[in-house]
C-alpha cells in the first residue's frame, strides 16, 4: 500500500490546482485521472467548443461582409478538417501544458487509471492500493442519454463526440434546447448545415426569463434554424436519408442527431458505498457549505457535487477548499453569486436571480430594460440583436441580478458581477464614468431607468 498526504481523484478544473497548492505546502499528493488531464473544459467543453464557435463566427462575418462594404467574391467555403484541427490544437496545448506542469513538480504523482474506494481512506487503481487521510473527488459529469424510442438503433452524437466531426452534416437535429444544444445549433448552421432544434419544454433555455428565451429563439430563427418547442414525443429510425426523427408535430430527415438533454455526475463507478459517501437521487455527491461530504476526510469539488456545473464554479470550489484547508480561512459555497454565459452569438451574460425569481421572493423590486438597438457600440458594429435587463432591491438598493443578451454581453456582465460581489449599491454604480464608445457605458443609463414593479 502506498501512502500519501492527499489523494485527488479527477483531473478537472478544481482537483489539479488544489493538488498543486498542497504540493507547494510540502505534501505528498497522488492525482488520479482515468483519461485526460484538464477535465471537460479542456477536452470536450469550453476550450474546443469556443474555438469552434470562433470559426463559425468567422464564417458568419465573411458572409455578412457586403453589409459593411466588404465584398468577397464566390461562396464562403468551410474546411471542417481545418476547423476540427484548430480546436484539437487548442485542447492539446492546454492538456500538454498541465502534463508538463505536473511533471516538474516534486511531491506530485500522476496516475492514469480508474480509481475506486476500498474504504474511506483507501482507493485502488491499476491493481495498486493507495491511502491518504484526505481524499478529494473532482470526477466531473457526462452527457445524459434519454431512453427514447429507437435511440439505440441510430448513431447519435453527444457534446463529447461532435467536436471530433471533420465533415459537415447535411442536416443536424439537436435534441434539447438548452445551453449546450443551442451553441452547437448556431455553430453548425453557420458552418452551412441545415439545423433543427427539438425541445420538450415550452421555451428554449428554460432557466431564463421568458423575454430572454423568446429573444434567444428570435436570434436563432433569424439565421434559419428550425425550432420545435413543447414536443412530447420523439422517436428515431434509420432511413435512406440517414435518420428519421419523428415527433408529435414534425418529421425530420436528418443526417446527424446530437443528444443534448443534460449531464449526469461520474459517481456511479467510484465505489462510494464502500466509503459511505452519500449522494442525492441524481447521483450528485452531497456536500456541506465547505464542500465536505458526510464522511470525514472526503471532499467533492466541481460538477460532481451539483453546485455549479461550470468551469468557473469548479475552479472556485478549489479556491474555497484551498482557503479553508491551507490558509486558515472560512469560505463558503453559499457566498458565491452565480454567474454564467450562453455562447450563442450574440452571447448572453447572466448573474444573480432572474426576474421571475425576484418576483417570487416577495421583496420589493425594481427592473430596467434597454434594447441593444439603443447602444451606440452595437449600432456601430451592426449587431443590435438582444437587450439588457437589470433587477434591484428597492429597499436595499442592491443589484439582485442582470441579463445582457447582446454584443459582448459575456464581458459586459462582469461590471455588474463585480458590483454585486463588492456589495455596491446601484446608485453608486450609476455615478461611474465608463469609457465611450463601449457597450458597458450603458450600464449607468440602464440603472438610471430602474422602475418599481
* Residues marked as catalytic: 436
Query: What pLDDT, in 10s, does the model give residues 117-138?
Result: 999 999 999 999 999 999 999 9
**355-367 average pLDDT score:** 97
Q: And the C-alpha cell for 111?
A: 496516475
Q: State whether 75 and 108 are in the same domain.
A: yes
Q: State whether 200 and 138 are in the same domain.
A: no
Count the domains in the chain.
3
Q: And the C-alpha cell for 429?
A: 454604480
The per-residue b/e assignment along 381-403, b for 16 or more CB within 10 angstroms, e otherwise, is eebbbbbbbbbbbeeebebbbbb
Tell me how far apart the alpha carbons of residues 434 and 443 are, in angstroms, rounded to a whole number. 9
**CATH code at 227?**
3.50.50.60
pTM exceeds 0.85, yes or no = yes
Residue 215 lies in domain: 151-261
Q: Which of residues 200, 227, 261 is at a domain's end?
A: 261
Tell me how far apart the alpha carbons of residues 112 and 35 are, in angstroms, rounded to a whole number. 7
Alpha carbon separation from 396 to 347, 352, 427 (Å, rounded): 30, 16, 11
Q: State whether 199 and 251 are in the same domain.
A: yes
Q: Which of residues 283, 315, 335 is at a domain's end?
A: 335
Tell me how far apart the alpha carbons of residues 263 and 273 are, in angstroms, rounded to a whole number. 22
Alpha carbon separation from 186 to 227, 329, 331, 409 (Å, rounded): 11, 44, 39, 17
Q: State whether 120 and 26 are in the same domain.
A: yes
Q: State whether 48 and 23 are in the same domain.
A: yes
Whether the predicted pLDDT of 44 surpasses 90: yes
**268-296 average pLDDT score:** 98
Look at residue 108 in the predicted model and tell me its pLDDT. 97
Q: Determine whether 336 is exposed, middle or buried from the number of CB atoms within 10 Å of its CB (0-12, 13-18, 19+).
A: middle
Q: State whether 393 and 371 are in the same domain.
A: yes
Contact 453, 359 (CB under 8 A): yes
Q: State whether 308 and 363 are in the same domain.
A: no
- Place 357 in a pLDDT band, splitting at 50, 70 and 90: very high
Whether the bond between 422 and the residue before it is cis, its omega within 30 degrees of 0, is: no
Tell me how far apart the alpha carbons of residues 386 and 348 are, in angstroms, rounded to a whole number. 9
Q: Which of residues 207, 234, 261 is at a domain's end?
A: 261
Q: State whether 294 and 401 are in the same domain.
A: no
- Place 247 in a pLDDT band, splitting at 50, 70 and 90: very high
Whether the predicted pLDDT of 308 surpasses 90: no
Q: State whether 19 and 114 are in the same domain.
A: yes
**CATH code at 371?**
3.30.390.30
Give every CB contact of residue 4 below 8 A, 6+ residues apart in sequence.
27, 28, 29, 30, 109, 130, 131, 132
Give every CB contact of residue 403 below 8 A, 6+ residues apart in sequence.
208, 209, 212, 348, 349, 350, 354, 388, 389
**195-213 average pLDDT score:** 97
Q: State whether 92 and 7 are in the same domain.
A: yes
- Taking the CA of residue 396 as centre, how many other CA atoms within 13 Å lie in the half-sphere pointing to its CB? 10
Q: State whether 161 and 248 are in the same domain.
A: yes
Look at residue 173 in the predicted model and tell me its pLDDT. 98
Q: State whether 24 and 69 are in the same domain.
A: yes
- Place 240 in a pLDDT band, splitting at 50, 70 and 90: confident
Amino acid at each position: 500500500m502506498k501512502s500519501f498526504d492527499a489523494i485527488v481523484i479527477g483531473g478537472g478544473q478544481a482537483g489539479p490546482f488544489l493538488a498543486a497548492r498542497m504540493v507547494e505546502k510540502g505534501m505528498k499528493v497522488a492525482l488520479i485521472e482515468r483519461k485526460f488531464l484538464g477535465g471537460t473544459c479542456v477536452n470536450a467543453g469550453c476550450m474546443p467548443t469556443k474555438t469552434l464557435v470562433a470559426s463559425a463566427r468567422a464564417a458568419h462575418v465573411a458572409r455578412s461582409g457586403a453589409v459593411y462594404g466588404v465584398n468577397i467574391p464566390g461562396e464562403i467555403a468551410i474546411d471542417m478538417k481545418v476547423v476540427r484541427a484548430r480546436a484539437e490544437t487548442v485542447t492539446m496545448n492546454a492538456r500538454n501544458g498541465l502534463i508538463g506542469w505536473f511533471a516538474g513538480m516534486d511531491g506530485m504523482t500522476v496516475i492514469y487509471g480508474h480509481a475506486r474506494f476500498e474504504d474511506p481512506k483507501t482507493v485502488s487503481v491499476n491493481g495498486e492500493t493507495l491511502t491518504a487521510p484526505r481524499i478529494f473527488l473532482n470526477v466531473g459529469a457526462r452527457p445524459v442519454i434519454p431512453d427514447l424510442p429507437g435511440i439505440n438503433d441510430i448513431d447519435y452524437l453527444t457534446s463529447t463526440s461532435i467536436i471530433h466531426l471533420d465533415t459537415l452534416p447535411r442536416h443536424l437535429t439537436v435534441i434539447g434546447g438548452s445551453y449546450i444544444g443551442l451553441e452547437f445549433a448556431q455553430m453548425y448552421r453557420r458552418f452551412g448545415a441545415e439545423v433543427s432544434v427539438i425541445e420538450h419544454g415550452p421555451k428554449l433555455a428554460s432557466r431564463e426569463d421568458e423575454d430572454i428565451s423568446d429573444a434567444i429563439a428570435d436570434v436563432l430563427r433569424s439565421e434559419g434554424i428550425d425550432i420545435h418547442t413543447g414536443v412530447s414525443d420523439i422517436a428515431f429510425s434509420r432511413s435512406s436519408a440517414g435518420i428519421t426523427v419523428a415527433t408529435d408535430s414534425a418529421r425530420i430527415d436528418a443526417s446527424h442527431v446530437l443528444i443534448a438533454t443534460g449531464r449526469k455526475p461520474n459517481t456511479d463507478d467510484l465505489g462510494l458505498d464502500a466509503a459511505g459517501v452519500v449522494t442525492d437521487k441524481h447521483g450528485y455527491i452531497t456536500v456541506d457549505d465547505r464542500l465536505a461530504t458526510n464522511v470525514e476526510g472526503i471532499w467533492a469539488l466541481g460538477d460532481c457535487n451539483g453546485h455549479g456545473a461550470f468551469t468557473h464554479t469548479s475552479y472556485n470550489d478549489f479556491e474555497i477548499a484551498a482557503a479553508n484547508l491551507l490558509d486558515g480561512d472560512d469560505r463558503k459555497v453559499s457566498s458565491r453569486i452565480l454567474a454564467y454565459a450562453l455562447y450563442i452569438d450574440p452571447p448572453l451574460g447572466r448573474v444573480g436571480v432572474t426576474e421571475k425569481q425576484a418576483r417570487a421572493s416577495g421583496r420589493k423590486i425594481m427592473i430596467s430594460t434597454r434594447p441593444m438597438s439603443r447602444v451606440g457600440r452595437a449600432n456601430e458594429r451592426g449587431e443590435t440583436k438582444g437587450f439588457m435587463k437589470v433587477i434591484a432591491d428597492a429597499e436595499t438598493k442592491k443589484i439582485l441580478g442582470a441579463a445582457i443578451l447582446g454584443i459582448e454581453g459575456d464581458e459586459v456582465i462582469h461590471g455588474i458581477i463585480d458590483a454585486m460581489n463588492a456589495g455596491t449599491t446601484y446608485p453608486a454604480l450609476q455615478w461611474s464614468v465608463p469609457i465611450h464608445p463601449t457597450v458597458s457605458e450603458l450600464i449607468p443609463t440602464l440603472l438610471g431607468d430602474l422602475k418599481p414593479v
